[in-house]
Amino acid sequence: MKRSFSWISCLLVLSFLLAACGGGGGSHLDKIKQAGVIKVGTSADYPPFEYVDENGHKTGFDIELMEEIGKQLGVKVEWVDMPFDSLIAGVQEGKIDASISAFNYTAERDKVVDFTDPYLTAEDAFLVADGFSGTISKPEDVANYKVGVQTGTTQDDWLTNVLKIPESNLFRYDRADQVAMDLKNGRIDVMMADYIPAKALAEKIGGLKIILKTVVSSGPMNIVIPDGDKELATAINDILKKLKDNGFIDNLATKYFTPQ
């Protein structure tokens, strides 16, 4: 019995030791600058926006952009890799300072977090396998097919709430690459995703093509920050403007979005 008591006290002591600073005054931005670190959440399974390269380093358009923003803020970026649908909760509950993960603005998300100015404009793509015989001439046509989508994305939102596709025709997946694999295997007919990663997936996997490119669900991409954090928004927006003006963002886009 003695043994169990020492275990309890060990755990208690450890959890108190681990309890991070917290408390104290000052704004969120002050705290970030004081710590010298901004904790940024991302879901590193979405090339070319955020992914892990062959050496195991996080890289991609969003990653490099955020690293640059961190540099200009004078802080180090600490990456926290989470599933896409945990990210908003992470920002909302203050577990991470911000999140960059190809987020589009939606009114639903805006209720619980804030968005910075857009850094890139996204389009939607509908992907099919090469042998696809149906017709999709406008976005609404997909309602007649089995459509795959990544859970929690703006495309998921559009299919569910705007198009109101029958549940039996909607297939939700954790990650975009799983949707593409199932499309190739013929379990679904159409995949809906952001245009740039969809194109990258089609090239990488092969046997897939983009049948329609449009803008229905997506649009500008923004960095997600805590609700009402005006100071952080201003700081990041100023930097984003600078990076747009000096061509940094254009160069990044050329680097990551031009097919090799």
Partner 1 sequence: MVSKFFSYIVQGTAVTVEVTLIALPFGLMIGLIFALLYNYGGKWSTRLTGLYSLLMRGVPPIVLLFILYFFLSGQFINLTPFWAGSLALGIISSAYQMEILRGALQAVGGGQMTAARAIGMNRMQALRYIIIPQAIRLAIPPWSNEVSIVLKDSSLVYALGVPEILRRAQQLSATTQQPFLAFGAAALIYFALVFLANRGLDYLAQKTRLPAYNP
Q: Point out which residues bind partner 1 (CB under 8 A).
A: 1, 4, 7-8, 11, 14-16, 18-20, 22, 41, 44-47, 51-56, 80-83, 86, 89-90, 93-96, 175-177, 181, 201, 204-205
Closest distance to partner 1 from the beta carbon of 177 (Å): 5
Smaller CB separation from partner 1, 92 or 237: 92
Yes or no: say if 96 and 20 are a contact pair by the CB < 8 Å rule.
no
Smaller CB separation from partner 1, 139 or 226: 226
DSSP helix/strand/coil, 91? helix
Q: Distance between CA atoms of 185 and 175, rounded to whole angstroms? A: 16
Closest distance to partner 1 from the beta carbon of 240 (Å): 25
Smaller CB separation from partner 1, 18 or 107: 18
Smaller CB separation from partner 1, 24 or 74: 24
Encoded tokens for 95 = 């577990």
Closest distance to partner 1 from the beta carbon of 184 (Å): 10
Closest CA to 148 of 192, 99, 88: 192
**What is the DSSP annotation of 96-150?**
SSEEEEEEEP-HHHHHHEEE---SEE--EEEEEETT--S--SSGGGGGGS-EEEE
Smaller CB separation from partner 1, 82 or 235: 82
Question: What residue type is assigned to position 215 of the chain?
Answer: V
**Helical packing angle, 230-245 and 248-257, nearest 10°:** 80
Closest distance to partner 1 from the beta carbon of 107 (Å): 22
Closest distance to partner 1 from the beta carbon of 179 (Å): 11
